[in-house]
Amino acid sequence: MKHSLPVACVDLFCGAGGLTHGLLKQGVQVKAGVDVDPACRFPYEANNRGAAFLERDVESLTQEDLAEYFSEGDFSLLAGCAPCQPFSTYARGKDTTQDAKWKLLRAFGGLVRRIQPDLVTMENVPQLPKHAIFDEFLKAFKGYHTWYEVVECESYGIPQRRRRLVFLASKLGPISLIPPTHSAKHVTVADTIGSLSAIAAGEADVADPLHAAAGLSDVNLRRIRQSKPGGTWQDWDEELIAECHRRDSGKSFGSVYGRMRWQEPAPTMTTLCYGFGNGRFGHPEQDRAISLREAALLQTFPKKYRFMPKGEDANFKVIGRLIGNAVPVRLGEVIAQSIREHLNQLGSSNH
């Protein structure tokens, strides 16, 4: 861990702790994480020493609830990633400014207005600035210097083709994300998961219960055996092609039932990344989808990051959701490095 920064942070919508862990690794003093999902408590507390977990709805938070976590003499940082349900398939093409699902982003903006933290950061979906709700969100930042950009995560050492909006705001002066750190050479699937032990579909590694792969039906086992890295279901024998893909409406869905390529970054991790049929989540050479541990590593969680108590079997649905919804740990580190650089430029690091 880098030497600590004079920055006290509360992480809203903290999930399993991806953003918190990255901030902590680079010296930000994360005091608390807030999430309404009780499944987040164990991984958040088990891996992020010194950060309290508050099982609360962000909409219900008051200025007084968070005041104790912002130490006197430290700069205050409000961080988070408001969930982005309005960008589901069903919402595309509609102006959802008044949609109730925007309430979490509004709650974030409302806390900024009331608390007036010195610094704010948010990670979100790349489509957000195209919607009127984002202009409404920006009105909470009167008196702040703001910066936002859609970031290609692989340019910062995250082994995924992942585009995310990163937002930074500061009352202290102009702020921006540090320049890309891996634009010349991306981190690959092989770099990230190539050394893990081989397991079969439906099995778990005895030494690491999170290195567990979902089972495959007989037909899906036959399908993955005919799948090539970077290929599609169009590589299969005719009898294996699903009925939905035979129809004209399904012919464009070439990214499902695919294997990853060793020497490239992975596709974007989702909450269903442990399923072979849910995207290009097939292991590059083993006949299975990636394991939960492999998914966590591709989200840049450390190899020893704990998602369940010792002795428990992995719950794919729950842990898949926690991993897929997480802010990559490495992106949290990059945000913290940007804040450090910001304070250094202002001569404020010894505040």
Same domain membership, residue 162 and residue 17: yes
pLDDT at 110 (0 to 100): 95
Least confident of 55-59, 108-112, 142-146, 229-233: 229-233
Tell whether 16 is covered by a domain: yes
Tokens of 210: 């999170």
Same domain membership, residue 34 and residue 153: yes
The answer to whether 33 and 48 have CB atoms below 8 angstroms apart is: yes
Tell whether 122 is covered by a domain: yes
Boundaries of domain holding 117:
7-185+327-346
DSSP string, 184-204: SS---HHHHHTTSPP--TT-E
Tell whether 53 is covered by a domain: yes
Q: Name the nearest CA neighbour of 302 among 81, 4, 24.
A: 24
Tell whether 210 is covered by a domain: yes
Tell whether 1 is covered by a domain: no
Same domain membership, residue 110 and residue 180: yes
Would the pLDDT of 30 be above 70?
A: yes
User: What's the whole-number mean pLDDT along residues 325-347?
Assistant: 96
pLDDT at 87 (0 to 100): 45
* pLDDT interval class at 236 (50, 70, 90): confident
pLDDT in tens, 154-179: 999 999 999 999 999 999 999 999 99
Same domain membership, residue 172 and residue 75: yes
User: What's the whole-number mean pLDDT along residues 203-228?
Assistant: 94
Tell whether 272 is covered by a domain: yes
Q: Name the nearest CA neighbour of 290 among 301, 278, 300.
A: 278
User: What's the whole-number mean pLDDT along residues 133-152?
Assistant: 97
CATH number of the domain enclosing 306: 3.90.120.10
pLDDT at 177 (0 to 100): 98
Active site residue 84: yes
C-alpha atoms less than 13 angstroms from C-alpha of 95 in its C-beta half-sphere:
7
Q: DSSP character for 158?
A: -
Same domain membership, residue 166 and residue 74: yes
Same domain membership, residue 210 and residue 314: yes
pLDDT at 86 (0 to 100): 45
Same domain membership, residue 214 and residue 335: no
pLDDT at 243 (0 to 100): 67
Tokens of 247: 């129809």
Residues 6 or more apart whose CB falls under 8 angstroms from that of 320 comprise: 271, 272, 273, 274, 292, 295
Same domain membership, residue 153 and residue 28: yes
| Phi–psi pair at 66, nearest 5 degrees | -100, -10
pTM of the model: 0.91
Looking at 9, 81, 84, 153, which residue is catalytic?
84
Same domain membership, residue 221 and residue 137: no
Same domain membership, residue 93 and residue 62: yes
Same domain membership, residue 303 and residue 194: yes
Would the pLDDT of 134 be above 80?
A: yes
Give the Cα separation of 292 and 319 in Å (integer): 7
Buried/exposed code over 319-347 (b: 16+ C-beta within 10 A; e: otherwise):
bbbbbbbbbbbbbbbbbbbbbbebbeeee
Would the pLDDT of 76 be above 60?
A: yes
pLDDT in tens, 87-124: 443 333 444 445 566 889 999 999 999 999 999 999 99
Tell whether 2 is covered by a domain: no
Tell whether 351 is covered by a domain: no
CATH number of the domain enclosing 157: 3.40.50.150
* 163-170 vs 145-152, strand pairing mode: antiparallel
pLDDT at 255 (0 to 100): 60
pLDDT at 348 (0 to 100): 52
- The tally of domains found in the chain comes to 2
pLDDT at 90 (0 to 100): 31
Would the pLDDT of 302 be above 50?
A: yes
Same domain membership, residue 315 and residue 195: yes
pLDDT at 5 (0 to 100): 94
Least confident of 9-13, 234-238, 259-263, 309-313: 234-238
* pLDDT interval class at 82 (50, 70, 90): confident
Q: Percent of the chain having pLDDT more than 70? A: 89
Give the Cα separation of 265 and 258 in Å (integer): 14
Per the prediction, the chain carries an average pLDDT of 90
User: What's the whole-number mean pLDDT along residues 252-280?
Assistant: 87
